[in-house]
Amino acid sequence: MISPLYAIGGLLLAYIGLSTLQLLYNYKKAKSIGLPVLITPIDPSNVPYLLCSSFLEPLLRKILPFGLGNFVEYNSRDWNYEQIHDLQERIGDTFIIVSPKQIRVFTGNAKASDDLCRRRRDFVKAVALYKPLEIFGRNVVTTEGDDWVRHRRITTPPFNERNSALVWDESKRQATDMLKMWASNPKGVVNPQSDTMVLALHVLTAAGHAQSSHVDAAL
């Protein structure tokens, strides 16, 4: 009878072996594109990794030799806010990150970004990532192709110049009031995340329901 410990060890080795093969396959495909390639052995969408990343990433940096743990620099949840500009300065404005499950291309080139957005049928979004937004059914954010065209046709009319001007004016008013509140608070900025969330909700209620609120109303 196989020991549970051996069974777990065998499954772990099989998982590592399969992930390695998938990583090598994706790396070969990515290299053929001709852009700089970065490698991460752990996919950023890996749920156990995401749950443990806060203490696992510093540990990997410390224990892995020869700088092998440096992949966490571009594998953390907030790396594209904290690190992407440093990476672009070092290796170029367009590069690829390869993992066992994905080949992801990142670009800071304005012309390339414009071309990608215009060629929607060639560069489709990963709709699986937007499944949590289908609480009330499929919508313009969670669809692609002909289905997306239909949803866009339905949702486009409210996004006109008059409503855009209303949103802009209300956003300026709310932001000005919030800055005044921050400046007059003896404790300084208490919770910018909460305050800006309220600001966004106030703009939405003003634009959608014609109900304008003061920034202090829900704080």
Last residue of a domain, one of 73, 108, 143: 108
Domain limits at 201? Answer: 161-209
The pLDDT score that the predictor gives to residue 217 is 62
User: So what's the pLDDT on residue 202?
Assistant: 92
How high is the mean pLDDT in each 10-residue block of the chain (219 residues)?
Answer: 72 84 93 92 81 78 74 79 85 92 90 90 86 91 91 89 91 91 79 86 87 69
Query: CA Rg, the chain, in Å?
Result: 23
pLDDT of residue 67: 66
Which of 89, 108, 127 delimits the end of a domain? 108
pLDDT of residue 24: 93
Q: How far apart are CA 103 and CA 29, in angstroms?
A: 9
Q: What gap in Å lies between CA 134 and CA 141, rounded to an integer?
A: 9
- Distance (Å) of CA 209 to CA 93, 164, 173, 213, 217: 42, 15, 17, 11, 16
- 217 assigned to some structural domain: no
Contact between residue 102 and residue 26 where contact means Cβ atoms under 8 Å apart: yes
pTM above 0.75, yes or no: no
pLDDT of residue 219: 46
Residue 107 · residue 94 · CB < 8 Å? yes
Whole-angstrom distance, CA of residue 88 vs CA of residue 126: 23
Q: Assess whether 14 and 103 both reside in one domain.
A: yes
